Amino acid sequence: MTSAQANQGTASPETPTPSSGTPPLAVAAGLLTVFLWASAFIGIRAAGEDLDPGALTLARLFIGAVLLGAVVLIRKVPLPPRADLPRLFLCGLLWFGVYNVALNAAEQRIDAGTTSMIISLGPVLIAVLAGLLLKEGFPRPLVVGGVVALAGVVLIGFATSSKGLEAGTGSALALLAAAAYAGGVVTEKPLLGNSSALVITWLACVVGAVLCLPFLPQLIDNLSHASGKSIGWTLYLGVFPTSVAFTTWGYALARSTAGKMGALTYLSPPIAVTLAWLILDETPPWLAVVGGALSLAGVVYSQRRK
Protein backbone atom coordinates (compact mmCIF):
# COMPACT_ATOMS: atom_id res chain seq x y z
CA MET A 1 0.00 0.00 0.00
CA THR A 2 1.34 3.41 -0.95
CA SER A 3 1.42 6.35 1.44
CA ALA A 4 -1.31 8.03 -0.62
CA GLN A 5 -3.55 4.99 -0.25
CA ALA A 6 -2.80 4.87 3.45
CA ASN A 7 -3.81 8.51 3.84
CA GLN A 8 -7.06 7.83 1.99
CA GLY A 9 -8.00 5.11 4.45
CA THR A 10 -11.18 3.35 3.47
CA ALA A 11 -12.31 5.99 0.97
CA SER A 12 -10.89 4.21 -2.09
CA PRO A 13 -12.64 3.87 -5.45
CA GLU A 14 -13.58 0.28 -4.57
CA THR A 15 -14.88 1.10 -1.09
CA PRO A 16 -17.59 3.76 -1.27
CA THR A 17 -18.00 6.12 1.63
CA PRO A 18 -21.40 6.13 3.33
CA SER A 19 -22.46 9.29 1.50
CA SER A 20 -21.37 8.14 -1.95
CA GLY A 21 -23.55 6.23 -4.40
CA THR A 22 -22.75 3.11 -6.36
CA PRO A 23 -20.96 4.01 -9.65
CA PRO A 24 -23.18 3.54 -12.73
CA LEU A 25 -20.81 0.97 -14.25
CA ALA A 26 -20.99 -1.08 -11.05
CA VAL A 27 -24.79 -0.93 -11.13
CA ALA A 28 -24.71 -2.10 -14.76
CA ALA A 29 -22.41 -4.97 -13.81
CA GLY A 30 -24.74 -5.91 -10.96
CA LEU A 31 -27.78 -5.87 -13.25
CA LEU A 32 -25.99 -8.06 -15.80
CA THR A 33 -25.16 -10.48 -13.00
CA VAL A 34 -28.75 -10.64 -11.79
CA PHE A 35 -30.02 -11.25 -15.33
CA LEU A 36 -27.57 -14.10 -15.92
CA TRP A 37 -28.30 -15.65 -12.53
CA ALA A 38 -32.02 -15.46 -13.25
CA SER A 39 -31.45 -17.30 -16.51
CA ALA A 40 -29.56 -19.95 -14.54
CA PHE A 41 -32.81 -21.06 -12.88
CA ILE A 42 -34.07 -22.13 -16.29
CA GLY A 43 -30.74 -23.73 -17.19
CA ILE A 44 -30.59 -25.69 -13.93
CA ARG A 45 -34.09 -27.06 -14.48
CA ALA A 46 -33.19 -28.09 -18.05
CA ALA A 47 -29.75 -29.58 -17.35
CA GLY A 48 -31.05 -31.20 -14.15
CA GLU A 49 -33.12 -33.60 -16.23
CA ASP A 50 -29.94 -35.58 -16.96
CA LEU A 51 -27.31 -34.33 -14.51
CA ASP A 52 -27.35 -34.85 -10.75
CA PRO A 53 -26.85 -31.77 -8.50
CA GLY A 54 -23.23 -32.44 -7.59
CA ALA A 55 -22.28 -33.43 -11.14
CA LEU A 56 -23.87 -30.29 -12.57
CA THR A 57 -22.04 -28.11 -10.05
CA LEU A 58 -18.69 -29.73 -10.88
CA ALA A 59 -19.28 -29.24 -14.61
CA ARG A 60 -20.16 -25.55 -14.16
CA LEU A 61 -17.19 -24.86 -11.91
CA PHE A 62 -14.73 -26.77 -14.12
CA ILE A 63 -15.78 -24.73 -17.16
CA GLY A 64 -15.57 -21.54 -15.13
CA ALA A 65 -12.15 -22.39 -13.68
CA VAL A 66 -10.70 -23.13 -17.12
CA LEU A 67 -12.09 -20.01 -18.81
CA LEU A 68 -11.26 -17.61 -15.99
CA GLY A 69 -7.85 -19.21 -15.50
CA ALA A 70 -7.01 -18.55 -19.15
CA VAL A 71 -7.97 -14.88 -18.80
CA VAL A 72 -5.95 -14.52 -15.57
CA LEU A 73 -2.93 -16.11 -17.27
CA ILE A 74 -3.17 -13.93 -20.38
CA ARG A 75 -3.66 -10.73 -18.40
CA LYS A 76 -1.07 -11.75 -15.76
CA VAL A 77 -3.36 -10.71 -12.91
CA PRO A 78 -1.55 -10.62 -9.51
CA LEU A 79 -2.54 -13.27 -6.97
CA PRO A 80 -4.05 -12.37 -3.58
CA PRO A 81 -1.80 -12.04 -0.50
CA ARG A 82 -1.28 -15.21 1.53
CA ALA A 83 -3.16 -13.72 4.47
CA ASP A 84 -6.34 -13.84 2.38
CA LEU A 85 -6.11 -17.56 1.54
CA PRO A 86 -8.20 -18.86 4.48
CA ARG A 87 -11.01 -16.43 3.70
CA LEU A 88 -10.69 -17.27 0.00
CA PHE A 89 -11.08 -20.97 0.79
CA LEU A 90 -14.20 -20.25 2.84
CA CYS A 91 -15.63 -18.14 0.03
CA GLY A 92 -15.06 -20.95 -2.49
CA LEU A 93 -16.56 -23.51 -0.12
CA LEU A 94 -19.73 -21.52 0.64
CA TRP A 95 -20.34 -19.41 -2.47
CA PHE A 96 -19.26 -21.84 -5.19
CA GLY A 97 -19.52 -25.26 -3.57
CA VAL A 98 -22.29 -25.52 -0.98
CA TYR A 99 -24.56 -22.89 -2.54
CA ASN A 100 -24.58 -24.41 -6.04
CA VAL A 101 -24.97 -28.03 -4.93
CA ALA A 102 -27.76 -27.16 -2.49
CA LEU A 103 -29.56 -24.95 -5.05
CA ASN A 104 -29.37 -27.61 -7.77
CA ALA A 105 -30.66 -30.27 -5.37
CA ALA A 106 -33.47 -28.02 -4.13
CA GLU A 107 -34.68 -27.25 -7.65
CA GLN A 108 -35.00 -30.98 -8.34
CA ARG A 109 -37.27 -31.42 -5.32
CA ILE A 110 -39.42 -28.28 -5.10
CA ASP A 111 -40.77 -25.91 -7.72
CA ALA A 112 -39.10 -22.67 -8.76
CA GLY A 113 -41.63 -20.48 -6.91
CA THR A 114 -40.97 -22.10 -3.56
CA THR A 115 -37.23 -22.09 -4.20
CA SER A 116 -37.20 -18.38 -5.04
CA MET A 117 -39.06 -17.51 -1.82
CA ILE A 118 -36.59 -19.39 0.36
CA ILE A 119 -33.47 -18.27 -1.53
CA SER A 120 -34.65 -14.68 -1.12
CA LEU A 121 -33.84 -14.98 2.56
CA GLY A 122 -30.23 -14.68 1.37
CA PRO A 123 -30.28 -10.89 0.82
CA VAL A 124 -31.88 -10.47 4.25
CA LEU A 125 -29.05 -12.44 5.83
CA ILE A 126 -26.50 -10.47 3.77
CA ALA A 127 -27.88 -7.16 5.03
CA VAL A 128 -27.76 -8.35 8.65
CA LEU A 129 -24.28 -9.89 8.42
CA ALA A 130 -22.87 -6.93 6.46
CA GLY A 131 -24.34 -4.51 8.97
CA LEU A 132 -22.83 -6.36 11.91
CA LEU A 133 -19.59 -7.88 10.58
CA LEU A 134 -18.61 -5.44 7.82
CA LYS A 135 -19.82 -2.37 9.75
CA GLU A 136 -22.04 -1.24 6.86
CA GLY A 137 -24.83 -0.32 9.23
CA PHE A 138 -28.52 -0.44 8.37
CA PRO A 139 -29.36 2.53 6.09
CA ARG A 140 -33.06 3.36 5.98
CA PRO A 141 -33.39 3.06 2.15
CA LEU A 142 -31.80 -0.39 2.25
CA VAL A 143 -34.05 -1.64 5.05
CA VAL A 144 -37.29 -0.21 3.63
CA GLY A 145 -36.46 -1.13 0.05
CA GLY A 146 -35.43 -4.63 1.10
CA VAL A 147 -38.71 -5.21 2.92
CA VAL A 148 -40.74 -4.05 -0.11
CA ALA A 149 -38.66 -6.14 -2.52
CA LEU A 150 -38.93 -9.21 -0.27
CA ALA A 151 -42.72 -8.77 -0.17
CA GLY A 152 -42.71 -8.76 -3.97
CA VAL A 153 -40.66 -11.95 -4.10
CA VAL A 154 -43.05 -13.65 -1.66
CA LEU A 155 -45.98 -12.72 -3.93
CA ILE A 156 -44.14 -14.17 -6.92
CA GLY A 157 -43.39 -17.31 -4.95
CA PHE A 158 -46.98 -17.87 -3.87
CA ALA A 159 -48.25 -17.13 -7.38
CA THR A 160 -45.90 -19.59 -9.09
CA SER A 161 -45.61 -22.25 -6.39
CA SER A 162 -47.46 -25.51 -6.94
CA LYS A 163 -46.62 -27.01 -3.56
CA GLY A 164 -46.44 -24.08 -1.17
CA LEU A 165 -43.95 -23.74 1.65
CA GLU A 166 -44.14 -27.35 2.67
CA ALA A 167 -41.47 -28.72 4.96
CA GLY A 168 -39.14 -31.29 3.52
CA THR A 169 -35.72 -31.98 2.08
CA GLY A 170 -36.14 -29.54 -0.80
CA SER A 171 -37.03 -26.62 1.45
CA ALA A 172 -34.17 -27.46 3.81
CA LEU A 173 -31.73 -27.53 0.89
CA ALA A 174 -33.00 -24.16 -0.36
CA LEU A 175 -32.55 -22.72 3.13
CA LEU A 176 -29.00 -24.11 3.21
CA ALA A 177 -28.35 -22.49 -0.17
CA ALA A 178 -29.62 -19.12 1.12
CA ALA A 179 -27.34 -19.30 4.17
CA ALA A 180 -24.32 -20.33 2.07
CA TYR A 181 -25.10 -17.52 -0.39
CA ALA A 182 -25.12 -14.91 2.38
CA GLY A 183 -21.98 -16.28 4.01
CA GLY A 184 -20.17 -16.39 0.67
CA VAL A 185 -20.97 -12.77 -0.20
CA VAL A 186 -19.96 -11.41 3.20
CA THR A 187 -16.75 -13.47 3.04
CA GLU A 188 -15.95 -12.28 -0.49
CA LYS A 189 -16.40 -8.56 0.16
CA PRO A 190 -13.16 -7.99 2.19
CA LEU A 191 -11.13 -10.00 -0.35
CA LEU A 192 -12.00 -7.51 -3.09
CA GLY A 193 -10.21 -4.75 -1.21
CA ASN A 194 -6.86 -6.44 -1.89
CA SER A 195 -7.36 -8.21 -5.22
CA SER A 196 -9.26 -7.93 -8.48
CA ALA A 197 -12.69 -9.47 -8.89
CA LEU A 198 -11.34 -11.61 -11.73
CA VAL A 199 -8.67 -13.41 -9.71
CA ILE A 200 -10.89 -13.80 -6.64
CA THR A 201 -13.66 -15.31 -8.76
CA TRP A 202 -11.23 -17.64 -10.49
CA LEU A 203 -9.59 -18.93 -7.31
CA ALA A 204 -12.91 -19.34 -5.50
CA CYS A 205 -14.19 -21.23 -8.53
CA VAL A 206 -11.11 -23.49 -8.42
CA VAL A 207 -11.69 -24.16 -4.70
CA GLY A 208 -15.31 -25.07 -5.37
CA ALA A 209 -14.36 -27.34 -8.27
CA VAL A 210 -11.71 -29.17 -6.24
CA LEU A 211 -14.16 -29.70 -3.37
CA CYS A 212 -16.67 -31.12 -5.87
CA LEU A 213 -14.20 -33.63 -7.38
CA PRO A 214 -15.89 -36.55 -5.52
CA PHE A 215 -18.78 -36.02 -7.97
CA LEU A 216 -16.49 -36.71 -10.98
CA PRO A 217 -17.55 -40.38 -11.46
CA GLN A 218 -21.17 -39.26 -11.27
CA LEU A 219 -20.55 -36.52 -13.85
CA ILE A 220 -18.91 -38.96 -16.27
CA ASP A 221 -21.83 -41.35 -15.90
CA ASN A 222 -24.40 -38.57 -16.34
CA LEU A 223 -22.71 -37.21 -19.47
CA SER A 224 -22.61 -40.67 -21.04
CA HIS A 225 -26.40 -40.63 -21.49
CA ALA A 226 -27.21 -36.90 -21.31
CA SER A 227 -29.11 -35.28 -24.16
CA GLY A 228 -27.62 -32.57 -26.33
CA LYS A 229 -30.03 -30.10 -24.73
CA SER A 230 -28.77 -30.86 -21.22
CA ILE A 231 -25.13 -30.63 -22.32
CA GLY A 232 -25.82 -27.33 -24.09
CA TRP A 233 -27.45 -25.85 -20.98
CA THR A 234 -24.53 -27.10 -18.86
CA LEU A 235 -22.08 -25.30 -21.13
CA TYR A 236 -24.22 -22.16 -20.91
CA LEU A 237 -24.28 -22.35 -17.10
CA GLY A 238 -20.50 -22.71 -16.98
CA VAL A 239 -19.77 -19.83 -19.35
CA PHE A 240 -22.34 -17.17 -18.48
CA PRO A 241 -23.98 -17.56 -15.02
CA THR A 242 -20.66 -18.84 -13.63
CA SER A 243 -17.65 -17.34 -15.46
CA VAL A 244 -19.19 -14.03 -16.51
CA ALA A 245 -21.79 -13.39 -13.79
CA PHE A 246 -19.64 -14.17 -10.75
CA THR A 247 -16.90 -11.91 -12.15
CA THR A 248 -19.25 -9.00 -12.84
CA TRP A 249 -20.74 -9.58 -9.40
CA GLY A 250 -17.30 -9.26 -7.80
CA TYR A 251 -16.65 -6.09 -9.80
CA ALA A 252 -19.92 -4.56 -8.57
CA LEU A 253 -19.48 -5.76 -4.99
CA ALA A 254 -16.02 -4.19 -4.81
CA ARG A 255 -17.53 -0.81 -5.66
CA SER A 256 -20.65 -0.91 -3.50
CA THR A 257 -21.80 -2.38 -0.20
CA ALA A 258 -22.74 -6.01 0.35
CA GLY A 259 -26.18 -4.91 1.55
CA LYS A 260 -26.95 -2.94 -1.62
CA MET A 261 -25.72 -5.69 -3.93
CA GLY A 262 -27.69 -8.28 -1.99
CA ALA A 263 -30.85 -6.17 -2.38
CA LEU A 264 -30.22 -5.96 -6.13
CA THR A 265 -30.63 -9.74 -6.40
CA TYR A 266 -34.30 -9.37 -5.45
CA LEU A 267 -34.73 -8.67 -9.15
CA SER A 268 -33.77 -12.26 -9.97
CA PRO A 269 -37.22 -13.86 -9.35
CA PRO A 270 -39.21 -11.42 -11.53
CA ILE A 271 -36.60 -11.71 -14.28
CA ALA A 272 -36.72 -15.52 -14.01
CA VAL A 273 -40.53 -15.44 -14.31
CA THR A 274 -40.25 -13.20 -17.40
CA LEU A 275 -37.65 -15.46 -19.01
CA ALA A 276 -39.79 -18.52 -18.31
CA TRP A 277 -42.66 -16.73 -20.03
CA LEU A 278 -40.56 -15.84 -23.08
CA ILE A 279 -38.51 -19.05 -23.38
CA LEU A 280 -40.70 -21.77 -21.86
CA ASP A 281 -44.07 -20.17 -22.72
CA GLU A 282 -45.07 -20.23 -19.02
CA THR A 283 -47.59 -17.39 -18.67
CA PRO A 284 -47.08 -15.73 -15.26
CA PRO A 285 -50.14 -15.29 -12.96
CA TRP A 286 -51.28 -11.71 -12.37
CA LEU A 287 -50.10 -11.94 -8.75
CA ALA A 288 -46.57 -12.65 -10.01
CA VAL A 289 -46.73 -9.51 -12.15
CA VAL A 290 -47.73 -7.46 -9.10
CA GLY A 291 -44.93 -9.07 -7.12
CA GLY A 292 -42.43 -8.24 -9.86
CA ALA A 293 -43.49 -4.58 -9.78
CA LEU A 294 -43.11 -4.52 -5.99
CA SER A 295 -39.66 -6.09 -6.20
CA LEU A 296 -38.56 -3.57 -8.80
CA ALA A 297 -39.82 -0.66 -6.70
CA GLY A 298 -38.13 -2.00 -3.58
CA VAL A 299 -34.78 -2.51 -5.32
CA VAL A 300 -34.88 0.98 -6.83
CA TYR A 301 -35.56 2.49 -3.41
CA SER A 302 -32.86 0.38 -1.72
CA GLN A 303 -30.21 1.76 -4.09
CA ARG A 304 -30.87 5.37 -3.05
CA ARG A 305 -28.16 7.32 -1.31
CA LYS A 306 -28.38 7.69 2.41
Domain segments of the chain as ranges: 27-302
Residue 130 has pLDDT above 90, yes or no: no
What would the pLDDT profile of 239-295 be if each residue is shown by its tens digit?
A: 999 999 999 999 999 999 888 888 888 888 788 778 877 876 766 677 767 776 776
Contact call for residues 156 and 113 (beta carbons, < 8 A): yes
Residue 36 has pLDDT above 90, yes or no: yes
pLDDT at 14: 46
205 contact partners, CB below 8 Å, separation of at least 6: 61, 64, 65, 68, 92, 96, 242, 243, 246
What would the pLDDT profile of 3-18 be if each residue is shown by its tens digit?
A: 344 333 333 334 444 4
pLDDT at 73: 97
What would the pLDDT profile of 159-211 be if each residue is shown by its tens digit?
A: 666 655 454 677 788 889 989 998 999 999 999 999 999 999 999 999 999 99
177 contact partners, CB below 8 Å, separation of at least 6: 98, 99, 102, 103, 106, 118, 119, 122
Residue 106 has pLDDT above 80, yes or no: yes
pLDDT at 226: 96
- Range 18-43 average pLDDT: 84
Q: Confidence band (pLDDT; 50, 70, 90) for 21?
A: low
- Range 141-147 average pLDDT: 73
> Which run of H or of E encompasses 182?
helix 169-191
DSSP percent split of the chain into helix, strand, coil, nearest 5: 80, 0, 20
- Range 141-158 average pLDDT: 72
Lowest mean pLDDT among 101-110, 194-203, 211-220, 229-238: 101-110
